[in-house]
Amino acid sequence: MIVLEYLLDRSEFVALAALLRADTIIGIDPAQLLPATPAERQAMFVNGEKSLIARGLARLSPPNAIQLDPALLRMARALTQPGSAIIAIRAVPGRGQQLYVFYARDAAWVEQSFPDPRGHRLAEIGDSADLLERLLALYDFPEAGGEGPGFQLDTAGFITLVSAVRAGEIPDAASVGATDPEGLDSLIGAYAYGPVNGSIALLPIREGRELEPMEIALAHGQAESWLIADDRGHLGKARAYQADRKALAVALGAMLRALNQAN
């Protein structure tokens, strides 16, 4: 559930990050965020600060301090000092990839998305239960379909599979180490013709450092939908499972609990 949201342009976002003295923000490449020269960066900061003040999202406080809107400040602290983070990539065939980044602070989650190349959307999501519902909505798995036994494939082979399908090629079972050719055909069909696919990476953070992420890939197909994750106990192997909305909720719920325990 989205409680509150703000739309910021690039200069406003840069000013916001600078006001909180953020060196990095998870999910954003500083080289793509900032202009090349110090003079251009300073001009962007000044313009962004003025714009935040003009919109009522910040105000001058004597002698020369800037006070941010309390709700915007709360969100900005989650972005710049998160306790954990999630990077979700949502790919829609024919339309490209969409990036969503979620940041946790004080048991609440904030979402950042990018409505245009120079825009930043910040939204308060709520607690972990609200976050789970938000992630389920992004990938919109079918209500029915069940979770089958699935099949194994090489982890590197799966990466090759996704790249090949996006290039219009069809890999065979042997080339990706798949143990079920029919299941592989269904998985390829989900990536090639389904309405949405992508990946979700959960990033534990301890003492300001990102730890090893927990990741799943997923593909919502026209007939069958799939989850792909590491096959535990089998180095270099992944396992693909047929899944519906309930199975995806169970998998994400377990990952969120593991994320909380890792911090």
pLDDT tens-digit readout, 183-215: 999 999 999 899 999 999 999 887 666 767 889
| Residue among 137, 145, 157 nearest 242 (CA) | 145
Give the separation between CA 123 and CA 9, rounded to whole angstroms.
14
Write the pLDDT tens digit of every residue in 6-51: 999 999 999 999 999 998 899 998 888 888 899 999 999 999 999 9
User: Is 253 domain-assigned?
Assistant: yes
Query: Which residue among 96, 117, 139 closes a domain?
Result: 139
Q: Do 125 and 24 fall within a single domain?
A: yes
Q: Look-up: residue for tokens 């500083």?
A: 30
User: Is 222 domain-assigned?
Assistant: yes
Query: Which residue among 95, 116, 139 closes a domain?
Result: 139
Q: Do 82 and 167 fall within a single domain?
A: no
User: Is 244 domain-assigned?
Assistant: yes
Q: Do 218 and 129 fall within a single domain?
A: no
User: Is 220 domain-assigned?
Assistant: yes
| Residue among 134, 131, 110, 106 nearest 122 (CA) | 110
Q: How many domains does the chain have?
A: 2
Query: Which residue among 139, 166, 188 closes a domain?
Result: 139
Asked if 238 contacts 153 with a C-beta cutoff of 8 angstroms, the reply is: yes
Domain residues for the domain of 93 are 4-139
Q: Do 16 and 125 fall within a single domain?
A: yes
Does residue 145 surpass a pLDDT of 80? no
User: Is 183 domain-assigned?
Assistant: yes
Kindly state the helix (H) or strand (E) to which residue 22 belongs, with its residue range.
none
Give the separation between CA 18 and CA 92, rounded to whole angstroms.
33
Q: Do 41 and 108 fall within a single domain?
A: yes
Indicate the pLDDT class of residue 85, thresholds 50, 70 and 90. very high
Q: What is the pLDDT of residue 215?
A: 93
Question: Helices (H), strands (E): how many in the chain?
Answer: 9, 13
Write the pLDDT tens digit of every residue in 242-262: 999 999 999 999 999 988 887
Give the separation between CA 221 and CA 163, rounded to whole angstroms.
17
Judged by average pLDDT, the poorest of 74-78, 101-105, 164-168, 215-219 is 164-168
Q: Look-up: residue for tokens 């180095």?
A: 235
pTM of the model: 0.93
User: Is 57 domain-assigned?
Assistant: yes
Indicate the pLDDT class of residue 146, thresholds 50, 70 and 90. low
Give first-to-last CA distance, the chain, whole Å: 24
Q: Do 35 and 110 fall within a single domain?
A: yes
| Residue among 113, 133, 138 nearest 220 (CA) | 138
Q: Taking all residues of the chain, what is their mean pLDDT, rounded to a whole number?
A: 90
Q: Do 9 and 134 fall within a single domain?
A: yes
User: Is 146 domain-assigned?
Assistant: no
